Structure 1
């Protein structure tokens, strides 16, 4: 199943950077993030109610959902949307945010007790190298210093949220938990949008509306649910390691969507990155098998 869910997650996550480029041409960054989270939250609440999902109980469950919602939804989406609005390219945004697996791997040991091991670190290094090769063409179109700083903030939010979700997310119902997290993100960003954008701005073109709809349903809905489902099945490092594939896949998708040329360097970077991800996944499976063997003894 992971062989299907993993590639699907990468494809959906990559598409969000391209949709974000179209959407931020029509809507300011904070307004875009706020509206997409509000709409996605309403959609997830409807799904949860229709399917009779269990809602959180107790202060601890609510607290954990709020923490992850602030980090992944508000900080990561809000900062990334603003970075794109500042002129950062989709390729560079994907390249910076794909570094989150390195942060997750480095902190996974002390926070989660997940050790990458030599093979995992080798795979991470190979994957980062491939992502850099694929993203070299985007290093000179980074927009403003503010845009790059916002990408760094988004990177920190996503990595921190991934670690927290992996640590506490096993007891979360994916439907209601995701709904709460998304709405928490919207609640955090809405006052900022009112202050910075002068109100929550809506798209005024068909392209902007379509991009917003894609971001709402596909990225804030389906992709986040896939991320949490994958985190339940694997280690934080192995799941976040899929993000190494996002920059080259984004570059490939940009050919038909944005009309950008596909450079041989992008294809080479994709091949190298895929090799690294395979090594990270193999290291994760070996660790899990070792843990199961130790438990049975």
Structure 2
């Protein structure tokens, strides 16, 4: 394969797959409540992952390691997916949700400073500031829009922020306690823990009614095989090829890709202030995630 295949196409494919998770949720949520949909998704995902774990002879961690992975699963999948799907279900445009949770590298950097004592450069602090400013511009326009079609219910922001905090803290927790674990086995434990959270939420807060329409089945199939299985397998492949850093640097492209998809599929529109805010936020995330020249050339 030519080098460009490894350096651009596969990381870009991963970013695109990740962006479609917001779209899949938008397609599936009219036919099932958020926790119910996510519970079904997690349970179905465990089947192909289990087959893969057997085929790859995955190594399973001990009870202590499994406990750490379960905490990561609750944060990264439970809080993140639950917050994203509830925000979309309650009216927040998919593009806006993806932009808010796209600040994950910024919040993760702050959490790493607090909990892992990692240093932050002046360039990264500037990126943090730009990211927060950009999202503030988006929210000022969307939350302040009087139109019911374009505006966002303010309380919905809580769900999006829950998703952002969950995936950010989960990333730091994984870095602190979850390194060196078999990726397939670790992912299965994380998904099982998330399924427990979604099960409790579905039985405590929802009716668990599902309309098994063709659209719902297609959306669910994509969320399972396109996101929870394929995206993870591609990530594993990228890490083995030594290209994981490229995934991190390209990850901030998820919000604009999602916004474009949401515009084409659902006619979700962003005004000029929100577009400028999105570009500012993406620039900020880029400053935080980009490595210094000295580090890149090393």
CA contact (8 A) 2:84 2:159 kept: yes
1:61 counterpart = 2:65: yes
**Does structure 1 conserve the Cα–Cα contact (< 8 Å) formed by 2:18 and 2:231?**
yes
What TM-score results when the alignment is normalised by the length of structure 1? 0.80
SS at 1:74 equivalent: helix
* Mapped pair 1:16 → 2:26: no
* CA deviation after TM superposition for structure 1 residue 19, in Å: 1.3
| Aligned counterpart, 2:161 | 152
1:283 partner SS:
coil
Measured after TM superposition, the shift of residue 287 of structure 1 is: 5.4
**Counterparts of 1:244 and 1:136 in 2: how far apart (Å)?**
21
Per-residue deviation, residues 149-174 of structure 1 (Å, max 9, x unmatched): 22222222111111111223321111
Matches within 5 A, 1:244-255: 244-255=252-263
1:198 aligns with 2:207: yes
Query: Which has the larger displacement, 268-277 or 108-117?
Result: 268-277
- Counterpart-to-counterpart distance in 1, 2:236 and 2:164: 17
Following superposition of structure 1 onto structure 2, how do residues 1-297 of structure 1 map, counting pairs within 5 Å? 1=6, 3-4=8-9, 6-56=11-61, 58-129=62-133, 138-139=142-143, 140=145, 141-143=151-153, 145=155, 147-199=156-208, 201-224=209-232, 243-260=251-268, 272=280, 275-283=283-291, 286=294
- The structure whose residues are more often helix, as a share, is 1
Q: Structure 1, unaligned stretches of length 5 or more?
A: 293-297
* TM-score scaled by length of structure 2: 0.80
SS in structure 1 of the partner of residue 291 of structure 2: helix
SS of alignment partner, residue 25 of structure 1: helix
How far is 1:101 from its partner? Answer: 2.1
Q: 5+ residue gaps in structure 2? A: 1-5, 146-150
Task: Name which of structure 1's ranges 166-175 and 118-127 shifts more when overlaid on structure 2.
Answer: 118-127
Task: Please identify, of 120-129 and 268-277, the stretch whose mean Cα deviation from structure 2 is larger.
Answer: 268-277
Structure 1 residues 239, 258: closer, same or farther in 2, change over 3 A?
same
Query: RMSD between aligned alpha carbons?
Result: 3.3
Structure 1 residues 255 and 122: alpha-carbon distance in aligned structure 2, compared to 1, 3 A threshold: same
